[in-house]
Structure 1
Amino acid sequence: MFEDLKPQEPRVELESDGGKLEVWGGRGSGVFEDANVAACRTTLKRRGLWLPSYIDAPSMQLVTRGKRGRVGVISSRGDRRSQETTFKVEKGDVVAVPQGVVVWWYNDQDRDLEIVGLADDQRGERSEQSGYGAVIHGFSTEVLSRAWQMDKSTVKELLQSQSEMGIIRLDKDITFPDQEERDNTFYQNFIYRFGKTNPDIRVRDGGELRELNSYKLPVLKQLGLGMECVQLEQDAMVSPNWFRAHQILYVMEGRGKIEAVSNDGERALDTDLEKGSLVVIPAFFPSTKIAGSEGFHYVSFLTTDKPMISYMSGRNSVYQGIPLRVLSRILNVDEERAKQVQRAHERESVIFPSESSAARRRDGQRDPRRREDEKRRHEEEDESRRRQREEKRREEEEEDRRRKRESEDESKRRGAWAL
C-alpha cells in the first residue's frame, strides 16, 4: 500500500477540436487505486462544450484556469420535477457534484477553461463517466419512442445525430439568459467561490489558507469530500502536519517542494512540484510544503467533509499539549532541547514566512512602536478566529434548522399522500 508517491503524468482519455480530457487513476494506477480516488483535468477551448454527463461516484470540480465559463447542473428530485440551473464560473470556483447528478460545461471565452476534478471511488462503482448520448444508444427505438412521445423515425434521426465524443466544439456562440445568482438559491447548493471568501488564516509575508468543509457547503456531507486552498509567499513553509484523510494535491501556480513521511518514519516523498503537478498524500502521512522563489499556490482535495489536521510546529502544535518531561522521553533528548522543539514558531500559526522575512520581523519587534503594531495584529487575528468560530456555530445551527424543516416537510408530504 502507498509504495510510490511520486507524481504521475495523466493519460489522455479523449481529445477533440473542442478540448481534452486527461485522467489520473483507474486499475493498476498504484497510489490512486490504493486511495480509492481518481482525478481528471479537462481543458475546453473557445466554444468547447463538455457534453452533459454523470459520474457514478461523488466528485468535486475546481476551475483552475479561465475567467469566464458556464456550468449547468441538473439535480433529480425523485417524484418531484428536476431542477436545472446554469451559472458563470471562473478560476477558484468549486462545483460539488453528488453521485448521479448531471453536469455540463461550456467555454465562452477566448482563453482556455481548465477544470480539475476528483472522484471518490470508495463511494462509487468505478468512477466511470457516462454521457447521455452514449447511454441512450443502449435502448431500443420502441422504448425511446414511448418514453419521449416521439415517432420512431424521429427517434432514429436523434440517435444518428449523437456525437460519440464527450467534448465537442460548437460552430456558434451560445447565448444564455442573464440569471441573477443572488435570487437563485439552487446554485448555492453546489458552488463555492474561493476567490470571493476571506482566508481562514492569513500570515504576513507567509501566505493564506482557506478551508472548504460541509459547514460552508452542506452538500459536501453527502459527498464526504472537502478541500484546502493554500497560497504561499516566496520561500514560505507550511508547518509539518497530517490529515485524517487522503490529500490529493494539485499545483495551480508557482513552484515548490513537498516532503512526506510514512507511518513507520521513512521518507515517502521528497520532490519538487510545478504548475500542473498532482500528488497523493495518504491519510496520517505527515507532510510539509515549501514555496520556491515564485511562490506556491496549491489546492488539496480531501476525502472527508470535516477535515481534522494536526500540526507538528507553531502555535497549534500537538507538542504544546505534551508535558515537557514526557516530550523529552518521546524525543530521547534533554528537557532543554525538548522545550526548544515545543516552543518552535510558538508565535506563528500554520504558515511560516521565509527566514529573511522572519528575521526582519524579529528586528522590528525591538522597536516599541512596531511591537505595539504586532500586538494589535495578533489581537485582530484572535478576534478574526473568534468570529469564524461564531460563524461556524451559526452555520451549524442553521443547518440543523434546515434539516428539521426538510424532515417536517417530508412528513407532511407523506401524510398528504396517505390521505
Structure 2
Amino acid sequence: MAPKPVLLSVSLCVLVLFNGCLAQSHPRQRQMGECRLNRLDALEPTIRTEAEAGVIESWEPNDQQFRCAGVAVARRTIEPNGLLLPQYSNAPELVYIVRGRGLSGILLPGCPESYEGSLQQSQGEQSRRLQQQQDRHQKIRYVREGDILALPAGVAHWCYNEGESPLVAISLIDTTNSANQLDQRRPRHFYLAGNPEDEFQQEHQRYGQRRRQQQRQHHLLAGGEHGPRQLGGDNVFGGFDAQFLADVFNVDIETARRLQGVGDNRGNIVMVESRHLETLRPRGWSREEQEREERRERERESERERERRPSPWRRDDNGLDETICSLRLKESMDDPSRADIYNPDLGRISTVNSLTLPVLRWLQLSAERGVLYKDAMYVPHWNLNAHSVCYATKGRAQVQVVDDFGETVFDDEMREGQLLIVPQNFAMVKRASSEGFEWIAFKTTDNAMISPLAGRTSAIRAFPEEVLANAFQISREDARRLKFSRHETALAPSIRSSSESASARIRSVV
C-alpha cells in the first residue's frame, strides 16, 4: 500500500530540516593567518556572569588563541536544584561534565514526545480531560561526571542539577563550523526563557542595557491604539508583542508577559521552586542498569551504522536514511574499561569520535580524555588534522609546546581550571606532577589523529636506522638506541623523576 502523501511530505520535511541542521560542508570555515602565534598561554576565564543558582565563566573569544582555533569556551557551575534555562546557540557544541550529576534535555526538532504520562482507564468526561492534560515531552538524559554531550547548532537544550553538590560543565562552541552562518567571531546564545545576560562579552551586556532603555522609550512613545507596549527580557520571546504571544499560545496577557521574562532578575541559571524537578523519566535505575542500557544503545547504533555504510559505488549518505529522533548524543569517557590506551602504572587515554559517537560526523568535533598518574608522561606528539583545546580538570603538569620553527611557544605548569589551545601540528609533551594530572581536550574534527615522536608507534621508530644516523649525524648504534629506547606507546614513565627519586633515597640513607 502506497504511503499517504501528507505523512510522506511531513516526514521528508522533518528529515530535511534536521539534516540541514546537522550537515556540514568541507572544508571547515577557518580564517587564514589566524594561527601565527609565537606564544601560548594557559588561560583562566576572564568573563563572569552570576545568576540566582549558579555562575557562568567564559574565556574571551576574541583572544588570538581562540581565533586561531575558531572556538569559544565557557564553564557553567549549577548549584543543587538549579536549572540552566532552555537555550540554543549558533554553532555546534560539546559539553563535558567535570563533576556532579543531573538531567539534560536536548530537543530535536520535529521529533515526537516519547516520554508521556500514564493514561487513566475511566471513560468519563472528566477522565478524558485529565488524559489530555497528562504531561509529555522528549527524552531526558541522565548526566554525570565524565559524560560528554553533543549539541548540534540551533538545537534547544536545558540542564538541571539533581545532586547535592555543584554540577560543573565545560562547554566548547565551534564558532567557525560551517553550520554557523551567523557570526564567526562570537557565539550567540538564544534563550527561550528568563532575562539572561550575554555569557561571552561584558561590553555587549552594557550595550544591550543601553539598547533596551532606548527601545523602552521608543515603545512608550509609540504605543499606538493599544497603549504603551511593555518591553520584555532578553529571551527570544522578549521582542515579540505580548498580545501576539497571547494569541499564538491562547493564554492571557499576564502569561504572555511571563514568557517574555518581564521583571525576571534571576539570570541564566534559576532555582527550581519545588525541592525537586518533577519530570517524566525512568526511576529506580542503578548505575549498572544505566550503563547496561547505554551499551545496548551503542550496539544498536553500531548495527545501524553497519547497515547504512556506503558501498563503493555510492558517494555518501544524504541523511534521509538516519533515525534522527533516536540519535545517541551522550557518551561516557571516564570508564577505565573503555580506555583506548591504558597502563596500570601510568594512566589512560580515552577518545570519542565519529566512530564511537556517529553524530560527531556532522558536528565535525571529537574529544580526548586523559589521566596521568604521578610523574607519568604523555610522550611528545602532534595532532595531524585538528586544533586541540585542552582543559585541566584535576592536578598539575609540566607542558611544553613547539611550533613549526622549532621555537618553544609554551613551557610552563598547567593546573586545574586552566585552558591551553594547541594549534594543529604543533608538537606537545605533558609530564604529570606528584599529584597526577587529568584533562579533557576538544578536537576540531570528527576523527582527530595524533602522531607520537617517541615510543613504539612513533615516527622515529618508523624511520630506518640509516636515515636517522644521517639526519642527526649520529652512529648506527646511537640511531638504534634512539629507535628502541622506549617500548611504551603514548604513555611513558619519567626517567628523570625515577633517577631523582633514587638519588633522594640514596641521600636519605647516607
TM-score range, shorter chain: 0.7 to 0.9
Which of 33, 42, 54 does residue 88 from structure 2 map onto? 54
Show the counterpart of 2:72: 38
Does 2:344 match 1:226? no
Show the counterpart of 2:145: 91
Unmatched 5+ stretches in structure 2: 1-35, 115-137, 194-234, 298-324, 500-510
Which of 30, 34, 49 does residue 14 from structure 1 map onto? 49
Q: Name the TM-score, length of structure 2 as normaliser.
A: 0.65
Shift of 1:69: 1.1
Partners of 1:160 and 1:198 in 2: CA distance = 44
**Contact 1:256–1:292 (8 Å) recurs in 2:** yes
Shift of 1:85: 1.8
Partners of 1:292 and 1:12 in 2: CA distance = 29
Structure 2: which amino acid aligns with 1:170? Answer: V
Shift of 1:259: 0.5
Unmatched 5+ stretches in structure 1: 360-419
Show the counterpart of 1:207: 347
1:299-332 deviation digits (Å, cap 9, x = unpaired): 1111111011100111101122222222223223
Structure 2: which amino acid aligns with 1:324? Answer: E
Show the counterpart of 1:303: 444
Shift of 1:191: 0.3
Shift of 1:204: 3.2
Change (3 A) 1:254 1:154: closer
Show the counterpart of 2:435: 294
**Contact 2:389–2:419 (8 Å) recurs in 1:** yes
Show the counterpart of 2:237: 136
Does 2:159 match 1:105? yes
Does 2:44 match 1:4? no
Which of 259, 262, 278 does residue 419 from structure 2 map onto? 278
Change (3 A) 1:9 1:160: closer
Show the counterpart of 2:130: none
Partners of 1:102 and 1:163 in 2: CA distance = 21
Change (3 A) 1:157 1:207: closer
Partners of 2:168 and 2:376 in 1: CA distance = 27
Does 2:302 match 1:176? no
Does 2:173 match 1:119? yes
Shift of 1:233: 1.1
**Contact 1:256–1:291 (8 Å) recurs in 2:** yes
Shift of 1:211: 1.0
Partners of 2:254 and 2:414 in 1: CA distance = 55
1:383-411 deviation digits (Å, cap 9, x = unpaired): xxxxxxxxxxxxxxxxxxxxxxxxxxxxx
Change (3 A) 1:136 1:4: farther
Structure 2: which amino acid aligns with 1:41? Answer: R
Does 2:343 match 1:242? no
Partners of 1:157 and 1:176 in 2: CA distance = 21
Partners of 2:70 and 2:258 in 1: CA distance = 40
Shift of 1:351: 0.2
**Contact 2:354–2:360 (8 Å) recurs in 1:** yes
The number of equivalent residue pairs is: 354
Shift of 1:51: 0.3
Which of 356, 361, 364 does residue 216 from structure 1 map onto? 356
Instruction: Name the structure with the higher strand share.
Output: 1
Which of 94, 103, 106 does residue 73 from structure 1 map onto? 106
Partners of 2:464 and 2:340 in 1: CA distance = 29
SS at match of 2:367: strand
User: Does 1 or 2 have the higher relative contact order (CA < 8 Å, sep 6+)?
Assistant: 2
Highest Rg: 1 or 2?
Answer: 2
Change (3 A) 1:199 1:160: closer
Structure 1: which amino acid aligns with 2:81? Answer: R
SS at match of 1:327: helix
Runs of 4 or more above 6 Å deviation: 356-359
Partners of 1:295 and 1:158 in 2: CA distance = 48
**Contact 1:248–1:280 (8 Å) recurs in 2:** yes
Structure 1: which amino acid aligns with 2:67? Answer: E
Give me the CA root mean square deviation: 2.3
Partners of 1:276 and 1:243 in 2: CA distance = 23
Identity among equivalent pairs (%): 29
Shift of 1:175: 2.5
Shift of 1:356: 8.4
Q: Name the TM-score, length of structure 1 as normaliser.
A: 0.79
Partners of 2:279 and 2:371 in 1: CA distance = 34
**Contact 1:233–1:353 (8 Å) recurs in 2:** no
Partners of 2:108 and 2:417 in 1: CA distance = 31
Q: Which moved more, 1:211-220 or 1:124-133?
A: 124-133
Change (3 A) 1:89 1:150: same
